[in-house]
């Protein structure tokens, strides 16, 4: 069988297994090594020190799978084009549903895509005995966006996401490394042109220049990867996002209907949509969620990456940024009953609301609080410790990964 025929066969199998995009790249060394080292040297990875581990493997698929010759890259759409679902999913947002990146609303995409890739591996093993394979879904040392671009799935945009003429950027990536010789697909030409909407409208300036993401200012980094306390100067920056951020994708013309978009049927992956039981959970409910309820509601969800205390911390910050007096009661309860990291952020949020009830809740909590770090945050929220807050450590938490 020729490399061209094998490539077509494997891509057709990928579509049969439920993926929306499929393409082939050669398993060659990366051309982005210099940019990656510069990104790490600047500290743009923020607290994600693990990004600097195994750099040589990231730059060479042959170090990940010995004898690798080809990479089958696949994409799975996790959100329809604007208007295709009639706004049904968005109806749970607004004042109630916490703002969560769309990819994280349903089942964990690692598992969803992993199942499809495992089935592909089985088909390859049956059709090509002795062929070596290794699958990845954002779980290993691969520069997956570069590989996917080389496989023709799209082209890297100025917001660093992969853009497709047909699918915008609302799709997830996975890879199957192979020792088979497959004919590669041609790359896609630039789709950004002179557009800078993602850079201009990023609410935190996390895209200081085209094709560069500074995680130190990225809402997704702080709400997902960072452990422990959020620096006081970061909290307001997060707005009301509790897990991730979609702004740079929401404003991208390739994710909007218009003359540049091809008309096509939306992808249907119900397992990646918001389940009903989680749609009933508002900010106050998330803040006060008990452990058993947390385990039940978020079983199989990518939102578990932030852990329970991280989600509750983020919910408190979102409530403080919304400044809604209706949040005083749940914040006061969290300040009395929550874990210490949650109590500190609940105190900050009450200080932002600035009503008589909020101040009374802070004063009452201060009288009974035994934790010095929480007392310090309460005093700052009451306007009694502003000068000392600038000297706080960046994090009281542990491992950031």
Q: Is 138 a catalytic residue?
A: yes
> Which residues, including other chains, have CB under 8 Å from residue 298's CB and lie 6 or more apart?
278, 304
| Residue 58 near residue 103 (C-beta atoms within 8 A) | no
> Which residues, including other chains, have CB under 8 Å from residue 126's CB and lie 6 or more apart?
none
- What are the structure tokens assigned to 286, written together? 């998330």
The distance from CA 390 to its chain's CA centroid, rounded to whole angstroms, is 29
- What are the structure tokens assigned to 35, written together? 């940019």
Catalytic residue (choose from 138, 268, 293, 371): 138
Instruction: Give the sheet arrangement for strand 21-26, strand by strand.
Output: 21-26, 70-77, 171-178, 133-136
SS3 156: strand
What distance in Å separates the CA atoms of residue 307 and residue 301, rounded to the nearest whole number? 11
Burial label for 276, CB within 10 Å (0-12, 13-18, 19+), is: exposed
Residue of 160, 137, 152 lying closest to 249 (CA atoms): 160
What distance in Å separates the CA atoms of residue 134 and residue 27, rounded to the nearest whole number? 12
Torsion angle of C-alpha atoms 147, 151, 154, 160, degrees rounded to 10: 10
What distance in Å separates the CA atoms of residue 73 and residue 176, rounded to the nearest whole number? 6
Could you give the angle at which helices 372-381 and 356-368 cross, rounded to 10 degrees? 160
Q: Name the pairing type of β-strands 21-26 and 70-77.
A: antiparallel
> Which residues, including other chains, have CB under 8 Å from residue 374's CB and lie 6 or more apart?
335, 340, 343, 344, 347, 365
> Which residues, including other chains, have CB under 8 Å from residue 323's CB and lie 6 or more apart?
352, 353, 354
> Annotated catalytic sites, by residue?
138
């Amino acid at each position: 069988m020729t490399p061209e025929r094998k490539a077509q066969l494997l891509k057709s199998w990928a579509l049969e297994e439920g993926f929306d995009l499929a393409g082939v790249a050669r398993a060659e060394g990366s051309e982005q090594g210099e940019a990656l080292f510069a990104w790490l040297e600047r500290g743009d990875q923020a607290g994600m020190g693990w990004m600097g581990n195994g750099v040589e493997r990231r730059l060479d698929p042959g170090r990940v799978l010995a004898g690798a010759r080809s990479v089958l890259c696949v994409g799975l759409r996790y959100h329809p084009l604007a208007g295709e679902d009639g706004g049904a999913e968005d109806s749970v947002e607004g004042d109630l549903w916490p703002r969560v990146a769309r990819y994280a609303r349903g089942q964990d995409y690692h598992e969803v895509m992993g199942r499809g890739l495992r089935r592909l591996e089985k088909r390859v093993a049956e059709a090509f005995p002795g062929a070596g394979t290794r699958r990845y879904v954002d779980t290993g040392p691969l520069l997956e966006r570069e590989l996917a671009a080389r496989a023709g799935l799209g082209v890297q945009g100025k917001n660093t996401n992969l853009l497709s003429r047909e699918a915008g950027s609302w799709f997830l990536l996975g890879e199957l490394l192979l020792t088979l010789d497959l004919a590669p697909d041609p790359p896609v030409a630039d789709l950004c042109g002179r557009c800078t909407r993602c850079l201009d409208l990023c609410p935190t300036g996390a895209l200081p220049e085209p094709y560069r993401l500074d995680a130190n200012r990225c809402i997704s980094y702080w709400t997902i990867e960072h452990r422990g306390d959020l620096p006081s100067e970061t909290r307001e920056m997060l707005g009301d996002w509790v897990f991730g951020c979609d702004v740079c994708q929401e404003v991208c013309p390739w994710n909007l209907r218009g003359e540049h978009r091809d008309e096509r049927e939306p992808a249907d992956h119900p397992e990646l949509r918001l389940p009903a039981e989680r749609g009933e959970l508002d900010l106050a409910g998330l803040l006060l969620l008990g452990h058993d309820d947390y385990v039940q509601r978020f079983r199989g969800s990518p939102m578990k990456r932030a852990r329970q205390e991280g989600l509750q911390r983020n919910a408190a910050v979102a409530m403080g940024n919304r400044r809604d007096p209706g949040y005083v009661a749940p914040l006061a309860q969290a300040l009395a009953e929550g874990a210490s990291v949650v109590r500190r952020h609940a105190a900050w949020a009450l200080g932002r609301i600035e009503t008589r009830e909020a101040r009374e809740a802070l004063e009452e909590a201060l009288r009974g609080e035994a934790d010095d770090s929480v007392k310090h945050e309460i005093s700052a929220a009451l306007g009694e410790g502003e000068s000392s807050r600038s000297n706080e450590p960046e994090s009281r938490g542990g491992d950031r990964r």
